[in-house]
């Protein structure tokens, strides 16, 4: 799915966000943001003083204006967070609509069917789903092949194929079965389905603060406490100098010097980052994973289904010298009869095409015992009396043949190499201790992945392909896809140990996978992205799920992760730089009447002490909503060195944050004087 183009300037959205902003004025809610809580305490204090002024007959105009703008500061900060939350909640509501009340055909003992509510389905229940029905729950297809419309969760209208066996057997509740009849084993209990978790992830109220966000928040609290101490000491110093400073002025000084800008925008930055991921149809289980994505320097990609389309198709049977073609076809057919993978089905299809046999004419040999494929053995086959037929990788078959006293000839090895050099997958087939021939499987590299991997390289991220295929096949695919490195003949434990090694060397590792054999590695990786089309085990092990099952999406994930970090850093720099201008506005105004010499600090030549203080307070409040679009959209990320990014950050947001307030405060001061507000 393409990134959605949307705007925050929608009347309904803005009004809802404004309502939520007022609701967040509750101190119990605001305590999650200590900086803004202190601003609220200051606002309450100035409001009380205003009422006291009114009842005592004192002038209250200045104090009233300060109080109003302090309240605006809090409301604008709450508004920034609310508008980000509402965008996410709107998405969650859309997802809820897809969870309409459904019924399921539950299979009981004796193949009887009971119609039950979809909400009552539990893990390991067996259900029957027929053509045209909505899939009632998450599960794995154990029988049959289906054409599924997943637009309810992915937004993509193109249907996808799901079938039993292999890594494309999972189905998701809320999607629609367009054709075929399937039996499904439920994999989630009520409240734990993919759609349930999706909604929880989308709901901003469920968002956990990331480690960097917590660290920055702690820094802001320390800075705030420091300024509180400073402001509390000023009355004593001022009293010694014979200057009396009003409480509203002290509150205004405190609020202006505190990091209110970043304090108000910080929650919105995190929420908006998660929402941007969702716009790309990527669901993040935690904010920690999103931030880690911004710092990864190693990316491990599974080949089949990730770099390639995954559905390798049998295209040719190559017999060994002295072996008849018919014998190879028979062995390939028998060994694939129980193979429900796309590769196994394609072998049967090619056998039928080569022999002109109809499916109805194929019979399972009497006494046949099928041997399933395992990641450890890397081969499958069938035992028919004294015939042991196997098909698998050359290493696995060589081991099997040698165990029976046979050997693989150099002629077979050369042909395997020739197939692999062409980027195809050689599947060796044997009977007992004799190699009968080779099955050529074609795999296709996904479009656009070479260009996206090149962009990752520009970011300083190394891409590594890990596959169970032989080295020559892996090398060919790696070259075609533009990968930096590859690991061939990888077993699940190999992938796991490789990730641990990279992490031990101080790297942050991202892993993309879709199969059950990828689950251990996904669980170990710092950033683990599972393809939605993959197995349930892979999705549960990962901390991100790509609904489109597009591995090139990793670039978007990395960019968004970096964007969140850069945005947070840029706005923090801007906020701190702002304090300098406010210092030059308020401090001279506080003491200039008693000590005219301090007017030298009034570099902006502000009209009066009251207008100076009021202008600084107004700017402090107004700058927050002005920065809301930037905090939601994020600072644009470009693939540059850290030094270049830091230099750009200091130039634009450091120097800009220093100069802009001087200009704006001067303009506001002129307006305040013109309107006779102070």
124-148 burial, b at 16+ Cβ within 10 Å, e below that, comes to ebbbbbeeebbbbbbbbbeebbbeb
Do the beta carbons of residue 165 and residue 339 sit within 8 Å? yes
Grouping H, G, I as helix, E, B as strand and the rest as coil, residue 60 is coil
Report which DSSP code applies to 320. Answer: P
Dist CA 431 CA 441 (whole Å): 20
Dihedral sign for Cα 518, 520, 525, 530, please.
positive
How many of the other CB atoms lie within 10 Å of CB of 641? 9
Dist CA 557 CA 458 (whole Å): 15
User: Of residues 167, 275, 302, 556, which has the active-site annotation?
Assistant: 302
Q: Which residues contact 198 (CB under 8 A, 6 or more apart)?
A: 95, 153, 283
Do the beta carbons of residue 467 and residue 488 sit within 8 Å? yes
Dist CA 632 CA 86 (whole Å): 12
Biggest alpha carbon distance in the chain?
114
Grouping H, G, I as helix, E, B as strand and the rest as coil, residue 593 is coil
**Whose structure tokens read 């101080």?**
506
State which H helix or E strand residue 145 sits in. strand 145-149
**Half-sphere exposure at residue 423, Cβ-oriented, CA atoms within 13 angstroms:** 13
Dist CA 397 CA 427 (whole Å): 9
389-402 burial, b at 16+ Cβ within 10 Å, e below that, comes to bbbbbbbbbbebbe
Do the beta carbons of residue 36 and residue 259 sit within 8 Å? no
Q: Which residues contact 182 (CB under 8 A, 6 or more apart)?
A: 128, 129, 141, 143, 144, 145, 146, 162, 164, 171
> Catalytic annotation on 302?
yes
Dist CA 163 CA 176 (whole Å): 14
Dist CA 121 CA 103 (whole Å): 10
Q: How many residues does the chain have?
A: 678
- List 317's β-bridge partners, or say none: 439
At residue 371, what are phi and psi to the nearest 5 degrees? Answer: -110, 110
Dist CA 653 CA 312 (whole Å): 51
How many of the other CB atoms lie within 10 Å of CB of 543? 21
Dihedral sign for Cα 568, 573, 574, 579, please.
positive
Q: Residues with catalytic annotation?
A: 302
């Amino acid at each position: 799915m393409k990134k959605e183009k949307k705007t925050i300037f929608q009347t309904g959205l803005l009004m809802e966000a404004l309502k939520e902003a007022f609701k967040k004025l509750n101190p119990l809610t605001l305590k999650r943001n200590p900086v803004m809580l202190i601003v609220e305490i200051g606002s309450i204090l100035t409001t009380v003083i205003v009422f006291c002024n009114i009842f005592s007959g004192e002038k209250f105009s200045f104090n009233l204006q300060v109080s109003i703008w302090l309240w605006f500061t809090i409301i604008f900060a709450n508004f920034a967070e609310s508008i980000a939350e509402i965008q996410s909640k709107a998405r969650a509501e859309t997802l809820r609509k897809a969870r309409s009340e459904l019924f399921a055909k539950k299979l009981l003992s004796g193949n009887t069917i009971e119609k039950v509510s979809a909400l009552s389905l539990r893990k390991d229940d067996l259900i029957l789903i027929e053509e045209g029905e909505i899939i009632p729950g998450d599960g794995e297809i154990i029988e049959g092949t289906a054409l599924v419309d997943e637009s309810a969760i992915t937004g993509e209208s193109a249907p996808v194929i799901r079938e039993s066996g292999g890594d494309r057997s999972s189905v998701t509740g809320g999607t629609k079965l367009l054709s075929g009849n399937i039996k499904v084993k439920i994999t989630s209990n009520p409240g734990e389905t993919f759609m349930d978790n999706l909604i929880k992830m989308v709901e901003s109220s469920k968002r956990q603060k990331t480690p960097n966000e917590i660290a920055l928040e702690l820094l802001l609290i320390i800075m705030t406490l420091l300024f509180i101490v400073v402001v509390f000491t000023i009355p004593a110093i001022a009293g010694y100098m014979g200057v009396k400073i009003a409480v509203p002025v002290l509150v205004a000084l405190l609020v202006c010097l505190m990091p209110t800008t970043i304090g108000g925008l910080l929650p919105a930055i995190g929420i908006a980052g998660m929402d941007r991921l969702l716009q790309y149809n990527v669901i993040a289980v935690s904010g920690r994973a999103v931030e880690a994505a911004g710092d990864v320097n190693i990316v491990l990609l599974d080949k089949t289904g990730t770099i390639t389309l995954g559905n390798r198709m049998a295209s040719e049977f190559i017999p060994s010298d002295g072996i008849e073609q018919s014998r190879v076809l028979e062995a390939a057919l028998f060994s694939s009869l129980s193979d429900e993978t796309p590769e196994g089905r394609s072998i049967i299809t090619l056998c039928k095409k080569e022999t002109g046999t109809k499916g109805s004419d194929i019979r399972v040999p009497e006494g046949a015992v099928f041997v399933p494929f395992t990641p450890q053995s890397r081969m499958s086959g069938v035992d028919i009396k004294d015939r042991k037929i196997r098909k698998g990788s050359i290493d696995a078959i060589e081991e099997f043949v040698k165990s029976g006293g046979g050997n693989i000839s150099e002629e077979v090895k050369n042909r395997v190499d020739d197939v692999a050099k062409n980027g195809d997958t050689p599947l060796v087939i044997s009977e007992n201790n004799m190699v009968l021939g080779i099955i050529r499987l074609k795999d296709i590299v996904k479009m656009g992945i070479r260009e996206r991997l090149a962009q990752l390289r520009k970011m300083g991220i190394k891409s590594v392909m890990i596959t169970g295929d032989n080295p020559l096949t892996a090398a060919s695919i790696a070259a075609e896809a533009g990968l930096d490195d590859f690991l061939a003949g990888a077993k699940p434990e190999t992938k796991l140990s490789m990730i641990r090694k990279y992490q031990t060397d101080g790297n942050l590792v991202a892993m993309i996978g879709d199969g059950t054999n990828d689950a251990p590695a996904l669980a170990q990786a710092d950033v683990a992205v599972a393809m939605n089309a993959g197995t349930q085990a892979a999705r549960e092990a990962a901390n991100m799920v790509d609904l489109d099952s597009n591995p090139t999406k990793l670039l978007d994930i990395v960019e968004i992760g970096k964007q969140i970090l850069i945005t947070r850093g840029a706005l923090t720099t801007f906020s701190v730089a702002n304090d300098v201008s406010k210092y030059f506005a308020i401090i001279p105004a506080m003491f200039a009447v008693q000590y005219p010499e301090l007017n030298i600090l009034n570099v902006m030549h502000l009209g009066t002490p009251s207008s100076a203080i009021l202008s600084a307070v107004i700017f402090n409040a107004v700058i927050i909503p002005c920065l809301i679009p930037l905090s939601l959209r994020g600072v644009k990320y470009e693939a540059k060195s850290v030094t270049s990014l830091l230099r750009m950050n200091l130039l634009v947001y450091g120097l800009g944050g220093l100069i802009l307030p001087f200009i704006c405060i001067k303009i506001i001061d002129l307006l305040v004087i013109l309107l006779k507000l102070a």
